[in-house]
Chain A
Amino acid sequence: MDLLAQVFVNGILLGGLYAIMALGLALVWGVLNIVNLAHGAFIMLGAYLSWYLFKYLGIDPFLGLPITAIVMFGAGYAVQRGMLNLIVRAPMFNTLLVTFGLEVVLTYLAQLAFSADFRTINPSYAGSNIAIGPVVVPIVRLAAFGVAIVLAVIMWLFLLRTRLGRAIRATAQNLVAARLYGVEPRHLYATTFGIGIGLAGVAGGLYGTVSQINPYIGATLTAKCFAIAIIGGLENPLGVIVGGLVLGIIESLAILYIGATFGDVASFGVLVLVLIVRPSGLLGRTA
């Protein structure tokens, strides 16, 4: 029983991190109709950025997140304006091809720049835990979870309450009408993609505090984000949180009861199940 509780807590903490990873992918997918296969590679870049900030400038990985977010936002804005804008209304296959190419290029550039060595961001409190009854909660995981949830709620409020958020939702729902009512799509797309990549950067920074990073983590993370976006839907950040938590818990349970190699099998199995049973996502609409 204690073990089960521990596994659940692990799953929830992991799920929060998954959610923040998937949030940017779901946003870009919903608004630009691009499944960004390079999303995981941007998470990886965000992780390295956080690592460098910590290692060479001594910036705490959590305090450095805003820097990572801003830099990655700029990178995302530029990539969208300079490259993805060329294929934004192209058939989906083209968008997959281009973003897959981007993922390969980023991964191998990262290998050249950072080497293939495993790295971790190790602040002084990295090994600290708090015990809640029989359950042990690592501080960094709890903090990463907290940041993820707060960010998702901020995103939700941003989309619901601000002018830019309203324009983003309107464009996702009806591009023609959005253009007729004053939205300039190129800027809006680039801003949305920038926000998505900024979120990926933050997710990377958090990932670096709880796990090892190397240049090749991107592809697996993209696949998980894809699964979460399908489960949680594209429109509501709170749905993405639910998707992340579902995936995190299922993975943790599968690892405990079936075996360590079955984590991914279980999470993608859930994806297939959701697609069969509720193709519109657990909480409603997807693309």
Chain B
Amino acid sequence: MSVAGKSTDGALLRVSGLGAGYGGMPVLHSVSLEVRPAEIVAVVGSNGAGKTTLLRALSRVIAATGQIEFKGRDLVPLTPDQAFAAGLVQVPEGRQLFDRMTVEDNLLMAADRRSDKAVALEDLRRMYALFPRLGERRRQLAGSMSGGEQQMCAMARALMARPILLAIDEMSLGLAPVVVEQLMEVLARIRDEGVTVLLVEQDVHLALSAADRGYVMETGRIVHEGAAKDLIDDPAVRKAYLGL
């Protein structure tokens, strides 16, 4: 755990004492965590633990107290579009695609604020290579695709923004295992390309087996943290989340 005064060198994202909630109802209680460059960090916990609230606070969609230091800069005073511009890009829960826009428009939309047209088209080609399925459906309305294809579209949209930190909320929820497997392979590939990933998941085993390090959340607090393989073996975590 990072301590105040410790150098932030090495940490891409350092959250300390983060509090957030809805309409005066606190959900997060002094959450602290750290993500280093090119890591995959998992935040796991059961439904209602505050994982989605954490991501909303990081993306500045909801009010927050405490500190969110990203690339040495505090995100708390920023707006969602500024956090996005800083390179913190979120794949939100439920995908939140632009349903009545084409797949291609969904992807281009994410690149609009960042790059010129040539760069965006180059990235578009990369996405279609990464997710051939999306290439086949590029003229189709995003909302008309299957759940797995929509999740691919949501991932590709996020990658079009060339994120520095990609925060993914419940990527596996409701998807067939074979699709989840494909998406996990993509995650490993983009991490190799230098993108840092914050993976928020209810599927504890899936998330921890893909991650380098993990945090376990319960009722708005971090209750365990450590290397992912240690957490998987931790008796308390095994008992509470893995049914072992």
Contact = CB atoms under 8 A, between A and B. Distances in A.
Interface of A: 163, 166-167, 169-170, 173-174, 176-184, 235, 285
Contacts of B110: 181-182
| B61, B89, B98: residue with the most chain A Cβ atoms closer than 10 Å | B98
A170 B113 CA distance: 13
Given A182-B84, A184-B81, A170 B109 contact: yes
B98 A169 contact: yes
Given A169-B98, A170-B98, A179 B61 contact: yes
Contacts of B112: 163, 166-167, 182
B96 A176 contact: yes
A14 to B, nearest CB: 31
The B interface, classified by DSSP as helix, strand, loop or mixed, is: loop
Contacts of B92: 176-177, 180
Contacts of A180: 59, 61, 80, 84, 89-90, 92, 96
B14 interface: no
Contacts of A178: 98
Contact of A181 (B84, B99, B100): B84
Given A179-B80, A182-B110, A184-B79, A173 B61 contact: no
A170 B84 CA distance: 16
B100 A182 contact: no
| A163, A181, A183: residue with the most chain B Cβ atoms closer than 10 Å | A181
7 contacts: A166-B101, A174-B98, A177-B98, A180-B61, A181-B84, A182-B85, A183-B81
Nearest to B90: A180
B19 to A, nearest CB: 21
Nearest to A177: B96
B108 interface: yes
B109 A167 contact: yes
B157 interface: yes
Contacts of B61: 176, 179-180
B10 to A, nearest CB: 27
Contacts of A166: 101, 105, 108-109, 112
A176 B81 CA distance: 11
| B61, B85, B96, B108: residue with the most chain A Cβ atoms closer than 10 Å | B96
Nearest to A163: B112
| A163, A235, A285: residue with the most chain B Cβ atoms closer than 10 Å | A163
Contacts of B105: 166, 169
Contacts of B157: 181
A183 to B, nearest CB: 6
Contacts of B208: none
Interface in B146-183: 157, 161
A67 B111 CA distance: 33
Interface string B102-119: 000100111011100000
Given A167-B109, A176-B96, A181 B101 contact: no
A181 B109 contact: yes
A182 B101 contact: no
Given A166-B105, A166-B108, A182-B81, 14 more contacts: A166-B101, A166-B109, A174-B96, A176-B92, A177-B96, A178-B98, A180-B61, A180-B96, A181-B109, A181-B110, A181-B113, A182-B85, A182-B110, A285-B100
B228 interface: no
